[in-house]
Amino acid sequence: MFRFADIFVVVLVCVLVASGSVAAETGLVSAAEDRVELSLAIYNNNLALVRERRRVNLERGRTELRLADVGRMLLPSSVIATPGQGVRLVEQRYLFNRLNRSNLLDAYLGREVIIETKDERSGVVRRRRAKILANDGGPVVEVDGEVLLAPDGKLVFPKLPEALVAEPVLSWLVESSRAGEREINFSYLTNGVSWQSEYVLTVEPDQQRATLGGWVTLRNNSGADFRVAQIHLLAGEINREAPGGNPGGVEMRASLAAATADAGAIQPSEQFEYYRYDLPGRTDLLHNQAMQVQLFAPRPVDVEKVYRLNGSQRFFRSAQRGRRESVPAEVILNWKAAARGGGGQPLPAGLVRIYERGGEGTLWFAGEDRIGHVSAGEKVSVRAGRAFDVRGVRRQLDFQRLSDRLRRVTVEIELINGKDTAVTVQVDESLPGDWKMIEQSHEMQKLESGLVRFNPRVPAGSRVKVSYTIEFI
């Protein structure tokens, strides 16, 4: 006896999906093999503009043309079609209801099918009419006036419902003035294709020189394979009314495919208010694949290492008797992106991985940080991590209520340098309300209306105290 899990579903009439443009019961199917030209413009926010030119054989008059291999994340309303001279696009639909057991049963609810059983001893095949009553984890059918939850045999469906497709397709109703081979052009937006920049900053032992190399990582989770494609990368923040999210739970079949590119930099071109990077040659970007391409070869940069302590306003709210706040200093690396005239280029937003080259030439990972889009010639700043031997201890020395609104507060930051070399520590203090500096132990730099900076030098193995008093309302 068969259980539902053993039921074999048969469809008598199937859609033909052979290579190239092929005739089907529904008209004509055009697959990836018909592509004459393919290009992708990939944006930072999980979006790509796909442009295709395909060669198809049309009959004179009206034909349903199904364009396959467009992926499962196509945005139907974004399709722009140019069918070509003598061809008119009458109607367009996007068919994305995929063929599977559950959808097939749903499509036949209330309709008749055939249950076919075979006697194992005699070999006699018996066919009976049945009606699909429900699809609740399996078919519920009516046969000869009886309702069966687990019918024996296999279900035979008379034909494949038009709304079900093996893979999503664009369905066009086109009208051609003549029969013969024609070229059609169309473009569309799709989610599921993205890219991001990844940089490698290698700091030399003197902590003042470094090399910076750039790569881009492309990912395709759109459901379509893009072969022999010209790829353009668009760097910038485009506005989208309803941006699509990155699909979760996608397992990469190919963890990394490195593309071969020229050793030199891929020079950007201005495109509207963005920058466009044209990858050399043509390449394949397949579904569930990640690929890396070199953006520019490693080049020398001068770096500045900075230790920084960022304050908070908790010590200005009330008296904090006996409370001390110990915070390690952040390690910041600064450099200047070379100007365009000096061989530099803008840096698209991305991840910067920091390495230090040891005295014996060995590379050691030192941290990572993200940067936003950086124009050529601008300063770049990344946070490597927190220092082990440089820290600050902040405490409140005095808190006074001079009136209902006026407060006077004294704060001290003791800087501790456990290194065998002197360091300069940037102490950034965020000050509340309408403030006035009354006293200070070190020279102060006002960065913003509520942010000041002290830059004390701390000798090797020493401690330096920075203190200040403010009044504020």
pLDDT in the model for residue 273: 85
Q: 118 φ, ψ to 5°?
A: -130, 130
Three-state secondary structure call for residue 359: coil
The three-point CA angle 80-83-84 to 5° equals 130
Are 293 and 279 contacting, i.e. CB atoms less than 8 angstroms apart?
Answer: yes
If you average pLDDT over residues 431-446, what whole number do you get?
Answer: 96
Pick the range with the lowest mean pLDDT from 33-47, 101-115, 440-454. Answer: 101-115
Q: Are strands 350-357 and 193-203 parallel, antiparallel or unpaired?
A: parallel
Looking at the fold, whether 202 and 72 belong to one and the same domain comes out as no
Three-state secondary structure call for residue 105: helix
Assess if residue 146 is contained within a domain: yes
pLDDT in the model for residue 271: 84
pLDDT by residue (tens digit) across 323-350? 899 999 999 999 988 765 445 678 999 9
Percentage of the chain lying above the pLDDT 90 cut: 62
H or E, element range at 35: strand 35-43
- Rounded to two decimals, what is the model's pTM? 0.72
Are 334 and 352 contacting, i.e. CB atoms less than 8 angstroms apart?
Answer: no
Q: What CATH number corresponds to the domain at position 427?
A: 2.60.40
pLDDT by residue (tens digit) across 246-266? 433 333 333 334 444 444 568
Give the Cα separation of 366 and 142 in Å (integer): 69
Looking at the fold, whether 266 and 140 belong to one and the same domain comes out as no
Q: Is the pLDDT of residue 1 over 50?
A: no
pLDDT in the model for residue 161: 80
If you average pLDDT over residues 442-450, what whole number do you get?
Answer: 95
Looking at the fold, whether 221 and 355 belong to one and the same domain comes out as yes
Nearby residues of 278 by Cβ (< 8 Å), 6 or more positions away = 230, 231, 232, 266, 269
Q: Which residue has the higher pLDDT, 181 or 137?
A: 181
pLDDT by residue (tens digit) across 66-85? 999 998 899 988 999 988 88
Give the Cα separation of 412 and 463 in Å (integer): 13
If you average pLDDT over residues 116-126, what whole number do you get?
Answer: 86
Radius of gyration of the chain from its Cα atoms, rounded to whole angstroms: 33
Q: Give me the domain span that covers residue 94.
A: 10-30+47-98+165-190
Assess if residue 4 is contained within a domain: no
Looking at the fold, whether 400 and 426 belong to one and the same domain comes out as yes
Looking at the fold, whether 310 and 440 belong to one and the same domain comes out as yes
Pick the range with the lowest mean pLDDT from 38-52, 119-133, 355-369. Answer: 119-133
pLDDT in the model for residue 340: 56
Judge residue 213's burial from the number of C-beta atoms within 10 Å of its C-beta, 0-12 exposed, 13-18 middle, 19 or more buried.
Answer: middle
Band the pLDDT of 242: cuts 50, 70, 90: low
Assess if residue 144 is contained within a domain: yes
If you average pLDDT over residues 2-26, what whole number do you get?
Answer: 38
Q: Is the pLDDT of residue 3 over 50?
A: no
Looking at the fold, whether 200 and 313 belong to one and the same domain comes out as no
Nearby residues of 120 by Cβ (< 8 Å), 6 or more positions away = none
At 363, list the tokens: 């590379």
Assess if residue 84 is contained within a domain: yes
Looking at the fold, whether 366 and 217 belong to one and the same domain comes out as yes
Give the Cα separation of 143 and 126 in Å (integer): 13
H or E, element range at 200: strand 193-203
Assess if residue 5 is contained within a domain: no
Assess if residue 198 is contained within a domain: yes
Nearby residues of 41 by Cβ (< 8 Å), 6 or more positions away = 48, 49, 51, 232, 233, 234, 276
Looking at the fold, whether 184 and 207 belong to one and the same domain comes out as no
The mean pLDDT of the chain is 86
Looking at the fold, whether 412 and 446 belong to one and the same domain comes out as yes
pLDDT by residue (tens digit) across 343-391? 567 899 999 999 999 878 899 999 999 999 998 889 999 999 999 999 9
Q: Is the pLDDT of residue 88 over 90?
A: yes
pLDDT by residue (tens digit) across 187-240? 999 999 999 999 999 999 999 999 999 999 999 999 999 999 999 999 988 888
If you average pLDDT over residues 31-58, what whole number do you get?
Answer: 95
Nearest partner of 371 among 255, 199, 254, 246, judged by Cα: 199
Q: How many CB atoms lie within 10 A of CB 456?
A: 17
Tracing tokens 């974004």 back to the chain, one arrives at: 78
Nearest partner of 438 among 397, 396, 403, 467, judged by Cα: 467
Percentage of the chain lying above the pLDDT 70 cut: 87
Looking at the fold, whether 93 and 64 belong to one and the same domain comes out as yes
- The number of distinct structural domains making up the chain is 4
pLDDT by residue (tens digit) across 281-335? 899 999 999 999 999 999 999 999 999 999 888 899 999 888 899 999 999 999 9
Nearest partner of 65 among 163, 184, 167, judged by Cα: 184
Assess if residue 38 is contained within a domain: no
Looking at the fold, whether 225 and 269 belong to one and the same domain comes out as yes
Assess if residue 37 is contained within a domain: no
Task: Report how far apart, in Å, the C-alpha atoms of 471 and of each of 127, 313, 378, 407 are.
Answer: 94, 14, 36, 6
Are 469 and 398 contacting, i.e. CB atoms less than 8 angstroms apart?
Answer: yes
Looking at the fold, whether 196 and 186 belong to one and the same domain comes out as no
Which stretches of 337-406 are assigned E, i.e. beta strand?
350-357, 363-371, 379-401
At 355, list the tokens: 């390495």
Q: Is the pLDDT of residue 56 over 70?
A: yes
Are 136 and 128 contacting, i.e. CB atoms less than 8 angstroms apart?
Answer: no
Give the Cα separation of 143 and 148 in Å (integer): 7
Q: What share of the chain is helix, strand, coil (3-state, %, to 5)?
A: 5, 60, 35
Nearby residues of 391 by Cβ (< 8 Å), 6 or more positions away = 326, 327, 328, 329, 415, 416
